[in-house]
């Protein structure tokens, strides 16, 4: 993450050297847009906190670690769709779930929907993209996530078990 900050600062310095007026104008626009999105973003953070509080790791592993792969995959994709967490938390969580016996196909459905489908980010997305585009994007992302999960299940021999 430090590297990203360093690159950003370097790019900002170059931009200021090239045309400081346009750079300052762009910064003002960015601040105004950030302030406009802040209420929706705070609502999203509150919803994420509530969901993460209500759905602990043990509950997730209990419901998606069952022998019925179809039900487990659907439940994992639903959990992933409504949960929002960064990759550096999600992937170690999947490692823990794998050790508890959750299949690769189920973990694939969980992580893919976690990263691609945004039920909790809906308020922010609809502000920028509109309701129709947000629903279409989430629906297509969900379908792609299910295809990825099934493909993962084929590769690991879990589909026909």
pLDDT band at 57 (very low <50, low <70, confident <90, very high): low
pLDDT of residue 4: 87
Count of CB atoms within 10 A of residue 147's CB?
Answer: 11
pLDDT band at 88 (very low <50, low <70, confident <90, very high): low
What's the distance, CA 30 to chain centroid? 23
Are the CB atoms for 59 and 26 separated by under 8 Å?
no
pLDDT of residue 19: 94
Count of CB atoms within 10 A of residue 12's CB?
Answer: 13
pLDDT band at 133 (very low <50, low <70, confident <90, very high): very high
Mean pLDDT of 35-44: 78
> Is residue 153's pLDDT more than 80?
yes
């Amino acid at each position: 993450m430090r590297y990203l900050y360093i690159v950003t600062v370097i790019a900002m310095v170059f931009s200021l050297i090239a045309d400081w007026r346009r750079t300052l104008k762009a910064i003002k626009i960015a601040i105004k847009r950030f302030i406009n999105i802040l209420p929706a973003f705070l609502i999203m953070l509150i919803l994420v906190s509530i969901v993460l509080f209500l759905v602990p790791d043990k509950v997730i592993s209990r419901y998606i670690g069952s022998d019925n792969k179809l039900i487990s995959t659907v439940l994992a994709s639903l959990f992933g769709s409504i949960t929002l967490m960064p990759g550096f938390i999600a992937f170690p969580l999947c490692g823990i779930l794998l050790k508890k016996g959750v299949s690769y196909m189920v973990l694939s459905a969980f992580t893919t929907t976690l990263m691609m489908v945004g039920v909790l980010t809906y308020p922010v997305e609809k502000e920028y993209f509109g309701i129709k585009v947000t629903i279409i994007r989430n629906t297509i992302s969900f379908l792609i996530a299910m295809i990825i999960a099934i493909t993962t299940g084929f590769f690991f021999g879990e589909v026909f078990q």
